[in-house]
Structure 1
Amino acid sequence: MHSLLPTTTVGSLPKPSWLAQPEVLWSPWKLEGDALVEGKQDALRIAVQEQTRRGIDILSDGEQTRQHFVTTFIEHLDGVDFEQRQTVRIRDRYDASVPTVVGSVSRERPVFVEDAKFLRSITDRRIKWALPGPMTMVDTLSDAHYRSREKLAWEFATILNQEAKELEAAGVDVIQFDEPSFNVFFEEVQDWGVAALERAVEGLSAETVVHICYGYGIKANTDWKATLGSQWRQYEESFPLLQRSSIDIVSLESHHSHVPIDLIELIRGKKVMLGAIDVASETIETPEEVADTLRNALRFVDADKLIPSTNCGMAPFPRNVALAKLSALSAGADLLRDELAGTDREAA
């Protein structure tokens, strides 16, 4: 376990082929009933073992127990009809068939808490759990009840806060909220997005993360990224707001992205979970490439606030690729740790 430059992943890892179809996002389960419960736990065990073996410090569940990073949470809530589907534009990029909010949304029982307890029981390392952020939940639904994205976001924020508090009680050290919508709906981020996120983290003593990415390496996302020009400056909109927020850690893409590294200056004082692994390419980074990406960031974030990570989730990759990238991430962090230790020795 490393106290300096602790490594982690954004979240998802590929599922075993006996649990779900490999290299396909959100593929249906191959098991059912008790066999599915057992299969998910076995997959979670494997995810923990592989992360541990490859030197990852803050472990995630690899999202082995959920099909989709947003809708699996929503499926457990009242007030949403999954039979009544509408086609809506998601993230202003692509059309998707989504469920409809038909009444007041509420959470009758915990969603991920039993899974988190299981994760806690099989490792002594720090653990992180990801939840969808309120704005991204709103953007993944059709709303026939509230007729207001803001009102619905506040309802979801309250529900997420209940879940987060129970995850914390189950032993989760770091709670992450995924908000890819923050890179798209800038006026809403300013008007109510960050405020709703702060409502979701209210009263937590676990560390909190907001993850804002440019998405999995799927065609709709890569096509969108091709329109963004030579510099991706979307973070410029949300970072100043997040710098003033109660969120502890900001997670961003860096390696092989067109995000200017100096934008990290806008979140000075926060911990930075820096993407040093590309999730849009199956090419395995070298440890030196990872160390370079991290080293560049040190001009704008202190080493004791830097958390090396992946750009986004790795669910669509072949398993051997995702696991090799985990090894590269920890090897690159090791290189930089050794460098920093040498510098400290020279300074002494």
Structure 2
Amino acid sequence: MIMKKLLPTSTAGSLPKPSWLAEPEKLWSPWKLEGDALAHGKHDALKLSLHEQQRAGIDIVSDGEQSRQHFVTTFIEHLDGVDFDKRETVKIRDRYDASVPTVVGAVSRQKPVFVEDARFLREQTDQPIKWALPGPMTMIDTLYDGHYKSREKLAWEFAKILNQEAKELEAAGVDIIQFDEPAFNVFFDEVNDWGMATLERAVEGLTCETAVHICYGYGIKANTDWKKTLGSEWRQYESIFPKLQQSSLDMISLECHNSHVPMELIELIRGKKIMVGAIDVASSSIETADEVANTLRQALQFVDAENLYPCTNCGMAPLPRDLALGKLKALSAGADIIRNELSP
């Protein structure tokens, strides 16, 4: 499906779940339903999330990750070789400690993880749909490896598994498959040594559009505290953009609004489609349409209008639903302002 609209809007990933499905404003929130009721509840929540995206004027819609507790571990829990009962504490992205499952044997995927949910979303709308998967490097950073003893080797195994899933998602009607790689903003040497190569393996053979989302994280305290240590300029993207520029990935999703990322860094990936984060997911205030438009104007100095895709900085699962909806409406309104400015 080709998106012909100028400046098509989308979200970076997760959206808040309804309170009847899971505890709101919390990551890894346990489900409130069980069995068949949970399965139906997830689909109801997906339809509700879709409706709210449409109501807000979002052009490229997603499932809002309504059927997942977490953007990484929900995929991993469906794989063989990982023991969720055997847990270890690791430091995720060198920022905060978390109790994570252990890789105890060869990892493999016996059946599709998200494909049925993707088919269900495809049945609900004629709009372009985007589906997010965790990237290989971010997956290995959310586990304790008790088997391979090699981050690179495990990443290559995950890349093969992700490629299997991605091909089936494409066949189910997904228009854009996005790989979430916040770890790219932390482990620069590994990204350039083998991280980008494993991501290329994950997208191998796909004919739909492919994207990578690289942000500074959810608006949780561990991330906001880390951002305070980064100084007046956040130049992490500068270390990885040259590899991304040379990659086969079609789209790159970035955190821009209310960040200290120098906008001119986007020049390093000119020619790619850029999902510009124009909504701050770590703020409890709703952006004005003019604030969104100003972020997009700045980006337009370094990306051609036909390649600009207004987006959120990151996922919004930890936010109140009404706040998230207000932010989505602001994103659409700000994009409208720029579309009107660009109209002949």
TM-score category (smaller protein): over 0.9
Aligned to 1:63: 65
Alignment partners' CA distance in 2, 1:84 and 1:61: 30
Deviations 1:55-90 (A, max 9, x none): 100001000000000000000000001111111111
Give 1:208's aligned residue: 210
Q: Separation in 2 of the partners of 1:223 and 1:243?
A: 30
Shift in Å, 1:125: 0.1
User: Residue 157 of structure 2: which of 134, 155, 159 is its match?
Assistant: 155
8 Å contact kept, 1:86–1:98:
yes
Conserved 8 A contact 1:2-1:57: no
2:302 match? 300
Aligned amino acid, residue 222 of structure 1: T
1:324 CA displacement:
0.5
Match of 2:120 among 118, 121, 126: 118
**CA apart distance, 1:242:** 0.3
- The answer on 1:83 being equivalent to 2:85 is yes
Hey, what's the Cα distance between the residues in 2 that align with 1:195 and 1:156? 12
Deviation by residue 1:117-170 (Cα, 9 ceiling, x = unmatched): 000000000000000000000000111111000000000000000000000000
Answer yes or no: is 1:104 the counterpart of 2:106.
yes
Instruction: Report how far residue 25 of structure 1 moved.
Output: 1.4
Letter in 2 for 1:45: K
User: Equivalents in 2 of 1:24, 1:234: separation in Å?
Assistant: 27
What is the one-letter code of the residue matched to 2:329?
S
Q: Cα deviations across residues 191-228 of structure 1 (Å, max 9, x unaligned)?
A: 00000000000000111110000001111101110000
Q: Distance in 1 between matches of 2:90 and 2:329?
A: 39
- The equivalent position to 1:265 in structure 2, one of 264, 267, 270, is 267
Q: Which amino acid aligns with 1:283?
A: S
Deviations 1:167-193 (A, max 9, x none): 000000000000000000011001000
Q: Residues 20-56 of structure 1, C-alpha deviation per residue, up to 9 Å, x if partnerless? A: 0111112000000000000000000011111111110
Q: Which amino acid aligns with 1:209?
A: A
3-state SS of 1:16 partner: coil
| Secondary structure of the structure 1 residue equivalent to 2:129 | strand
Q: Sequence identity, in percent?
A: 77
Aligned to 1:274: 276
The equivalent of 1:287 in structure 2 is 289
Q: How does 1:132-151 map to 2 (within 5 A)?
A: 132-151=134-153
Q: TM-score, normalised by structure 2?
A: 0.99
Q: For 1:35, give the aligned amino acid.
A: A
For residues 90 and 68 of structure 2, the distance between their equivalents in structure 1, rounded to whole angstroms, comes to 22
Match of 1:15 among 11, 14, 17: 17
What's the CA shift for 1:321? 0.3
- Residue 126 of structure 1 aligns to a residue in which SS? coil
SS of residue matched to 2:191: helix
Structure 1 unaligned residues grouped into runs of 5+:
none
Aligned-residue CA RMSD (Å): 0.7
Are the equivalent residues in 2 in contact too, given 1:243–1:266 (CA < 8 A)?
A: yes
Give 3-state SS (helix, strand or coil) of 1:104's partner. Answer: strand
How many residue pairs were aligned? 342
C-alpha distance in 1 between matches for 2:56 and 2:187: 37
TM-score, with length taken from structure 1? 0.97
SS in 2 for 1:59: coil
Give the aligned partner of residue 224 of structure 2. Answer: 222
Mapped to 2, the partners of 1:54 and 1:136 lie a distance apart of: 30
Runs (4 or more) in structure 1 with deviation over 6 Å come to none
Instruction: Describe the superposition over 1:244-278 as per-residue Cα deviations: whole angstroms up to 9, x where unpaired.
Output: 00000010000000000000001011000000000
- Deviations 1:264-317, CA, capped at 9 Å, x for gaps: 001011000000000000110011110110011001000000000000001111
How far apart, CA to CA, are the structure 1 residues paired with 2:4 and 2:163? Answer: 29
